[in-house]
C-alpha cells in the first residue's frame, strides 16, 4: 500500500504514446471510456479487452492535459477552489483507467498487459513530471498556500492544500530547469526498472517446477498437499506425477514436512535464488541501478539519502528512528533465534545426523519440535480453518464491532471466475461499499497478498461516493471434494487484508486523494494488523474456527495448544523480518552510490548484524518486491512500527471487551474513517488517549 497522490499514478500502470485514427475511432465503443452501466458502477470486466487499454489511456491523457491547461490558464486569481480542488478533481478518467489496468496487471496479467506496462511506463512518468514541474501551475498552488488563511479552510481542506503543496515541492517544482530535466530522466528510468523487476520475478517464480515421480519421495507430506501436487501435475500435462511450485501454499509446506532433505534443498535453492540466476530475469544489476537512481533523485531534491526523503512523510520521520526500533528488537530476537537453532541441532542429532542447521532444515525440524513439545501439528488445525469459515469469521467480527453486513452478489462482473463480490452495508442498512475477494494462486497473479481499490471513496455534491475495494491473496486451493483448508498463518493473512479493506470501506472524507489508505506506510498497517489479533483470540476462534465436515467448533484442547505455543519460533519470525527491514534501510540510507554488486552488498549488510547462516532475510535482494517494485522502499520497517500501534490498540479492546461498542466506534471514528486527513500520531492519540506502549509488542513476540 502506498500513499496516494492527487495525480492518478500507479507504479504498475503505463500509458500509450500515440495511436492512429483507426484506433481513435474505436473509442466510442471502448468500455473504459463509457459510463459504466453496471451494478454499483463497477468496471465492466466482461467487456474490457486488452486492446482497449492503449486508446483508453490516450484519451484519458488528452482529457487530463486539457483539465490541467484550464487550471494553468485560468485568468482569475488563484483560489483554493479553482486551483487546489480543481487539481484534485482533474484526471478522474485517468484514475479510472489506471485502477483497472493496475489491478489486472497485478492479479490477472498476461503477456499483452505486461508488454503494455513495460513499454509505456515512462510515458506516465513523464506525464506526471510535466504536471508537477509546471512552473505556472506551481505558482498558482504556491499562491494559495501562501494565502491559506484567507480562504476559510476547514481541517480537511487545509490537509489537502498542505499535501498538494508538498507534492509539488517533493516532486521537483523548485528545481532549476536543468535539474528538472535530470529528475525527469531519473523518474523515467526508474519507472522502467521497477516494472522490469516485478515482471522478472513473476517469470522466474512461474518457471520452476519440482517434479516428483517416485511416491517414496513424498514421505512426510500431508495428504492434502500430495493431492494438490497431483492436481497441479495433471493441469500441466504430467499425469501420474506430482508437481510442486514456488507459490507459498506449495513450497512452504513442502519445506515444513518433506522427509527428503535433498528435495527440500532443491526447492529451497530455487526459491532463494529467484531472479539471481544470471539469465534474462536476473534482478541483481537492476536493483543496484534502482537504489543508485533513488539516491541521485534524493540528492537532487536536497536530501542526503532516499530514506531521508521517504521517511520525512512517515511517523518515523527519519532513518535514525526506524533503525532505532529495529535495533531494539534485533538483539533479543537474534538471541532467541540462536536458542531455537540449538534446539534444531539437537533434534538433528536425535535423528542420528551431524550436519549443521541449513535454511531448508529450519521449518522441517521446527515442526518436529513443535509436535514433541506441544503435542501439536499445524495439520490438525487446518480442518477448522476452511476458507469459508475464516472469511465468515472476519465478516462476523466486523459485524460485532461495527454492525456492518456482507451480502454476496452474483450480478456483478469480475475479472476472473474465482473472484467473489460482496455488497457491504452499514449498521443502518445503507450502502457502504463493495468488496472484491480473489483468494487463490495462479500464474497470472503475482505472489503475496494485498488490498487495492477500483474506486476510492470521496464526496461529490455533498453525497458520499462509495468505494470499490479489492483484496488479493494466494491461499491453498480446494483439492477434489475438499474445500480450501488454510493454515493459521493464512487465516491471519485474510484477517490482515480484510483490515486494509475496512480502512478503505469505512473512509468518509471529502477528497479521494486523502481517502482510506492514503496515509503513511508505518500507519497504514495499523488497521490491517489489529484485525490479526481477533483472528487468534480464543473467544473469537470458538465462533468461527469450525470443522469443515462436522461443523464442530475448535476444541479448547487445540486452543490451549495454540496458546502454549504462542511465542514458539518467534526468534526466527522476528529475525527473518527485521533482517529484511534492515537490508531495505541499508540500501536506501546510503549517502554514496553503491559500487559493489547486490550479493556483496547484502552479505555485508547481514554480516554487520550477525545474522546466523541458518536464517536468511525474509526477502533476498533480487526478489524483494516490496522495496524494488512495490512502493515500500525505505518502508519495510513499517510492519513492525505498526505492530507497536496495533498491539497497544488491541490492548484497549482487551481492557474494555473485545467488542466494546464505545472502543470500536472510537477506532472507526478516529482511525478508519479519517484516511489521511490528519496527522496519524494525533489520530492515534485521539483513539487511545495516549501514545502507544511498546511493551505490548514485546509481550506478544516473547522478546522481553
Distance CA 254, CA 268 (A): 10
Q: What is the CA radius of gyration of the chain?
A: 25
Distance CA 560, CA 566 (A): 10
pTM for this prediction = 0.95
Give the end-to-end CA distance of the chain in Å, rounded to a whole number: 31
Task: Read off φ and ψ for residue 464, nearest 5 degrees.
Answer: -70, 125
Residues 531 and 628 in one domain: no
Distance CA 590, CA 321 (A): 16
Distance CA 356, CA 359 (A): 10
Residues involved in catalysis: 497
Nearest Cα to 490, choosing from 218, 255, 247? 247
Boundaries of domain holding 235: 209-272
Residues 84 and 57 in one domain: yes
Three cell numbers at 458? 470521496
Contacts of residues 463-466 at CB distance under 8 Å and 24 or more positions apart, as own/partner, are 464/508, 466/40, 466/431, 466/432, 466/433, 466/434
Considering Cα of 144, then 147, then 150, then 155, what sign does the dihedral take? positive
Answer yes or no: is 187 within a domain.
no
Place of cell 529475525: 575
Residues 359 and 392 in one domain: no
> Residue 622 in 3-state DSSP?
helix
**Within a 10 A sphere around the Cβ of 382, how many other Cβ atoms?**
22
Supply the pLDDT for residue 19: 35
Answer yes or no: is 188 within a domain.
no
∠ CA 547-219-348, rounded to 5°: 100
Three cell numbers at 661? 461498542
Task: Read off φ and ψ for residue 201, nearest 5 degrees.
Answer: -65, -45
CB 312 within 8 A of CB 318: yes
Q: Which of 157, 174, 191 is the last residue of a domain?
A: 174
Residues 543 and 657 in one domain: yes
Nearest Cα to 202, choosing from 247, 232, 237? 247
> Residue 458 in 3-state DSSP?
strand
Residues 556 and 697 in one domain: yes
Residues 519 and 444 in one domain: yes
Supply the pLDDT for residue 26: 54
According to DSSP, the β-strands at 405-409 and 242-244 are unpaired
CB 649 within 8 A of CB 526: yes
CB 323 within 8 A of CB 585: yes
Three cell numbers at 152? 476559510
What are 131-186's pLDDT values in tens digits?
999 999 999 999 999 999 999 999 999 999 999 999 999 999 999 999 999 999 99
> Residue 450 in 3-state DSSP?
strand
Residues 368 and 436 in one domain: no
Count structural domains, the chain: 4
Distance CA 97, CA 44 (A): 12
Distance CA 573, CA 348 (A): 21
Answer yes or no: is 221 within a domain.
yes
CB 282 within 8 A of CB 622: yes
Residues 45 and 96 in one domain: yes
- What distance lies between CA 675 and its chain's CA centroid? 17
∠ CA 648-652-655, rounded to 5°: 125
Residues 43 and 160 in one domain: yes
**Within a 10 A sphere around the Cβ of 488, how many other Cβ atoms?**
18
CB 451 within 8 A of CB 500: yes
According to DSSP, the β-strands at 405-409 and 431-438 are unpaired
Question: Which CATH number belongs to the domain containing residue 653 in this structure?
Answer: 1.10.1370.40
**Which residues does the chain have with pLDDT short of 50?**
1-25
**Within a 10 A sphere around the Cβ of 612, how many other Cβ atoms?**
17
Answer yes or no: is 616 within a domain.
yes
Answer yes or no: is 182 within a domain.
no
- What distance lies between CA 41 and its chain's CA centroid? 25
CA distances from 387 to 53, 359, 488, 554 (A): 34, 30, 11, 15
Answer yes or no: is 295 within a domain.
no
Distance CA 426, CA 421 (A): 16
Nearest Cα to 531, choosing from 503, 559, 512, 509? 503
What are 281-297's pLDDT values in tens digits?
999 999 999 999 999 99
Distance CA 65, CA 60 (A): 9
What secondary structure, in 3-state letters, does 476-516 show? Answer: CCCECCECCECCHHHHHHHHHHHHHHHHHHCCCCCCHHHCC
Answer yes or no: is 1 within a domain.
no
Residues 448 and 593 in one domain: no
CA distances from 341 to 261, 327, 347, 550 (A): 17, 21, 10, 39
Q: Which of 586, 607, 635 is the last residue of a domain?
A: 635
Residues 585 and 534 in one domain: no
Residues 415 and 487 in one domain: yes
Nearest Cα to 638, choosing from 584, 687, 689, 696? 584
Answer yes or no: is 539 within a domain.
yes
Task: Read off φ and ψ for residue 554, nearest 5 degrees.
Answer: -55, 130
User: How much helix, strand and coil, in percent to the nearest 5, is found in the chain?
Assistant: 60, 5, 35
Amino acid at each position: 500500500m502506498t500513499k496516494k497522490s492527487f495525480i492518478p499514478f500507479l507504479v504498475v500502470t503505463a500509458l500509450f504514446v500515440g495511436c492512429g485514427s483507426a484506433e481513435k475511432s474505436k473509442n466510442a465503443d471502448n468500455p473504459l471510456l463509457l459510463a459504466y452501466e453496471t451494478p454499483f458502477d463497477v468496471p465492466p470486466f466482461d467487456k474490457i479487452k486488452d486492446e482497449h487499454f492503449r486508446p483508453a489511456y490516450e484519451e484519458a491523457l488528452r482529457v487530463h492535459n486539457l483539465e490541467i491547461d484550464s487550471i494553468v490558464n485560468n485568468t482569475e486569481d488563484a483560489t483554493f477552489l479553482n486551483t487546489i480542488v480543481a487539481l484534485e478533481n482533474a484526471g478522474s478518467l485517468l484514475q479510472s483507467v489506471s485502477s483497472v489496468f493496475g489491478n489486472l496487471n497485478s492479479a490477472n496479467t498476461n503477456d499483452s498487459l505486461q508488454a503494455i506496462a513495460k513499454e509505456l511506463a515512462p510515458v506516465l512518468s513523464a506525464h506526471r513530471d510535466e504536471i508537477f514541474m509546471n512552473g505556472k501551475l506551481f505558482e498558482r498552488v504556491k499562491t494559495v498556500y501562501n494565502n491559506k488563511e484567507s480562504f476559510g479552510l476547514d481541517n480537511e481542506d487545509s490537509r489537502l492544500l498542505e499535501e498538494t503543496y508538498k507534492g509539488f515541492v517533493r516532486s521537483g517544482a523548485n528545481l532549476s530547469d536543468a535539474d528538472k530535466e535530470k529528475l525527469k530522466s531519473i523518474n523515467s528510468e526508474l519507472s522502467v526498472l521497477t516494472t522490469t523487476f516485478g515482471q522478472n520475478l513473476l517469470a522466474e517464480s512461474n518457471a520452476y517446477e519440482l517434479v516428483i515421480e517416485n511416491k517414496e519421495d513424498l514421505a512426510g507430506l500431508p495428504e492434502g498437499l500430495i493431492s494438490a501436487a497431483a492436481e497441479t501435475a495433471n493441469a500441466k500435462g504430467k499425469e501420474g506425477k506430482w508437481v510442486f511450485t514456488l507459490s507459498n501454499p506449495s513450497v512452504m509446506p513442502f519445506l515444513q514436512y518433506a522427509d527428503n532433505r535433498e528435495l527440500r534443498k532443491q526447492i529451497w535453492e530455487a526459491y532463494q535464488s529467484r531472479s539471481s540466476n544470471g539469465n534474462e530475469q536476473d534482478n541483481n544489476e537492476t536493483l543496484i541501478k534502482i537504489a543508485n537512481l533513488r539516491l541521485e533523485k534524493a540528492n537532487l531534491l536536497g536530501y542526503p539519502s532516499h530514506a531521508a526523503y521517504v521517511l520525512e512523510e512517515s511517523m518515523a520521520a527519519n532513518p535514525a528512528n526506524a533503525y532505532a526500533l529495529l535495533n531494539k528488537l534485533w538483539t533479543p530476537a537474534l538471541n532467541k533465534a540462536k536458542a531455537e537453532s540449538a534446539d534444531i541441532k539437537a533434534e538433528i542429532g536425535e535423528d542420528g545426523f551431524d550436519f549443521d542447521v541449513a535454511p531448508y532444515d529450519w521449518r522441517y525440524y521446527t515442526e518436529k519440535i513443535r509436535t514433541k513439545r506441544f503435542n501439536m501439528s499445524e495439520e490438525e488445525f487446518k480442518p477448522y480453518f476452511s476458507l469459508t469459515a475464516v472469511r465468515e469469521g472476519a465478516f462476523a467480527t466486523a459485524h460485532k464491532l461495527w454492525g456492518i453486513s456482507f451480502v454476496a452478489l452474483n450480478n456483478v462482473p469480475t475479472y476472473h471466475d474465482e473472484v467473489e463480490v460482496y455488497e457491504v452495508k452499514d449498521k443502518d442498512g445503507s450502502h457502504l461499499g463493495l468488496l472484491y475477494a480473489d483468494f487463490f494462486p495462479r500464474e497470472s497473479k503475482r505472489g503475496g497478498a494485498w488490498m487495492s481499490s477500483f474506486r476510492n471513496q470521496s464526496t461529490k455534491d455533498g453525497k458520499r461516493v462509495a468505494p470499490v475495494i479489492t483484496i488479493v491473496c494466494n491461499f491453498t486451493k480446494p483439492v477434489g471434494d475438499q474445500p480450501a483448508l488454510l493454515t493459521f498463518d493464512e487465516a491471519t493473512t485474510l484477517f490482515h487484508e480484510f483490515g486494509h479493506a475496512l480502512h478503505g470501506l469505512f473512509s468518509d472524507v471529502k477528497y479521494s486523494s486523502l481517502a482510506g489508505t492514503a496515509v503513511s506506510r508505518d500507519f497504514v498497517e495499523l488497521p490491517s494488523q489489529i484485525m490479526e489479533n481477533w483472528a487468534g483470540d480464543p473467544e473469537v476462534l470458538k465462533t468461527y474456527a469450525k470443522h469443515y465436515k462436522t461443523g464442530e467448533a475448535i476444541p479448547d484442547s487445540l486452543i490451549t495448544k495454540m496458546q502454549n505455543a504462542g511465542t514458539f519460533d518467534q526468534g526466527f519470525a522476528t529475525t527473518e523480518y527485521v533482517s529484511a527491514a534492515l537490508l531495505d534501510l541499508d540500501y536506501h540510507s546510503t549517502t554514496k552510490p553503491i559500487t559493489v554488486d547486490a550479493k556483496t552488498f547484502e552479505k555485508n549488510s547481514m554480516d554487520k548484524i550477525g545474522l546466523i547462516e541458518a536464517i536468511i532475510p525474509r526477502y533476498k535482494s533480487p526478489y524483494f518486491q516490496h522495496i524494488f517494485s512495490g512502493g515500500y522502499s525505505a518502508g519495510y520497517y513499517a510492519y513492525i512500527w505498526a505492530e507497536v500501534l496495533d498491539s497497544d490498540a488491541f490492548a484497549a479492546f482487551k481492557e474494555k471487551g473485545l467488542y466494546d461498542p464505545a472502543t470500536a466506534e472510537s477506532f472507526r471514528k478516529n482511525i478508519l474513517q479519517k484516511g489521511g486527513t490528519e496527522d496519524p500520531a494525533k489520530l492515534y492519540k485521539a483513539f487511545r488517549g495516549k501514545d502507544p506502549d511498546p511493551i505490548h509488542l514485546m509481550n506478544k513476540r516473547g522478546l522481553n
